[in-house]
Structure 1
């Protein structure tokens, strides 16, 4: 019997829960997160998206088939032509100018996480890269589901952060996350126990760096 993405989560359950249910996430749901913390997160998330696009370029290089190359290219194009534009507009709604985004310094948590992902992909193969990215790619979809399930989560006009929640609970994002889970399930089904243990360490590290990214927002850390 092969492995599945769910097995990575089970192997890192405490870290995964700390990420999905982080105080930053809880405060988003209850509308108690400070606006300064959210703006700081938005700025750094813009910088993360830029590095995320680079990761897709690396995925194209690491691809072993035209199908994988086309998928990586489509992912990078979506970030550059769609997601960054949407994020810039979202930042504008929060009083953050595009000119300011272009000159932002990267916080240490941003540097640590994004460079870890790129290094994991450079040293390893395409599966390593996808596993390193999966806490972000799949985790945000699970966070949206978790927030929806909490009685304390406020929606609509009662929560200034509702648009953020809605973005990640959208069918488009949830479908993309599910496609990523299925891709990982197919590849993980073929790995050996030793290889799986290596991927667990990679997944755990990436999840811990996601936790640090949330904490950076709460602490306004640079």
Structure 2
């Protein structure tokens, strides 16, 4: 069993709560309230700005040139690809990139991004990559599961573009490379004495991912109740 699989096994409860959250199931069948998805996209745009900073930190923390290039690739994927998807989807609601950047961050957004950046500042490259892993690798796993559902790519499903983006080959390759690099770093730097510390980082980052879904899910429920 590779290092990432060991982390998942140790954090099985947190991982299930994150990857199988009702928010994700609503994406698959199109039942997710639009207000929930809109709130998520705006907050995720802010989240990605901070994640880009985390990848820039990964460049600085990298002990080898190959590690620097891997981190730079992740930074480019966020700034040049992933954020553009959010801009495209939010344009349908009349939101510009400036509107997204100036939106107030939710408490859950701040908690998650600050945790990842703090893990990177205090620790080494491996600790930072463990904190990043639930998002980077988890989205690929979630999208693959959702894409297999009956109505995921139906023309009537407003969320099919999001699913297709993360289930598509380009993002799946990004996630696979991130997973391989994490396993490689663990082979070099993950001693038995550090295993508990790294597992704790992974569990907390995964829990914060579930909280991020929950934040958007609550927004959708509140709007539905007001109606």
TM-score > 0.5, shorter chain as reference: yes
In structure 2, the partner of 1:201 is 200
Deviation at 1:210, TM superposition (A): 0.1
Structure 2 residue matching 1:175: 3-state secondary structure: helix
In structure 2, the partner of 1:136 is 135
Structure 2 residue matching 1:101: 3-state secondary structure: helix
Which of residues 154, 161, 164 in structure 1 aligns to 2:162? Answer: 164
| 1:211 aligns to 2:210 (yes or no) | yes
| 1:180 aligns to 2:181 (yes or no) | no
Q: How does 1:45-194 map to 2 (within 5 A)?
A: 45-151=44-150, 153-190=151-188, 191-194=190-193
Q: Indicate conservation of the 8 Å contact 2:146/2:152, yes or no.
A: no
Q: How does 1:25-36 map to 2 (within 5 A)?
A: 25-36=24-35
Structure 1 residue matching 2:158: 3-state secondary structure: coil
The 3 A distance-change label for structure 1 pair 176 and 117 is same
Counterpart CA distance in 1 for 2:86 and 2:139 is 15
Counterpart CA distance in 2 for 1:94 and 1:173 is 25
Counterpart CA distance in 2 for 1:26 and 1:162 is 12
> Larger deviation: 162-171 or 86-95?
86-95
> Larger deviation: 76-85 or 197-206?
76-85
Deviation at 1:3, TM superposition (A): 4.9
Over aligned residues, Cα RMSD in angstroms? 1.7
Counterpart CA distance in 2 for 1:14 and 1:7 is 13
Q: Indicate conservation of the 8 Å contact 1:3/1:189, yes or no.
A: no
Deviation at 1:78, TM superposition (A): 3.3
Structure 2 residue matching 1:18: 3-state secondary structure: helix
| Structure 2 unaligned spans of 5+ | 221-227
Query: What is the CA deviation profile of residues 111-157 of structure 1, one whole-angstrom value per residue up to 9, with x for unaligned ones?
Result: 00001000000000001111000000000000012213345x43221
In structure 2, the partner of 1:14 is 13
Deviation at 1:178, TM superposition (A): 0.7
Deviation at 1:161, TM superposition (A): 0.5
Query: What is the CA deviation profile of residues 12-43 of structure 1, one whole-angstrom value per residue up to 9, with x for unaligned ones?
Result: 10110111100100111111110011000000
Deviation at 1:82, TM superposition (A): 3.4
Counterpart CA distance in 2 for 1:18 and 1:150 is 19
- TM (norm. structure 2) is 0.91
Q: Indicate conservation of the 8 Å contact 1:40/1:220, yes or no.
A: yes
| Structure 1 unaligned spans of 5+ | none
- Paired residues in the alignment total 219
- TM (norm. structure 1) is 0.93
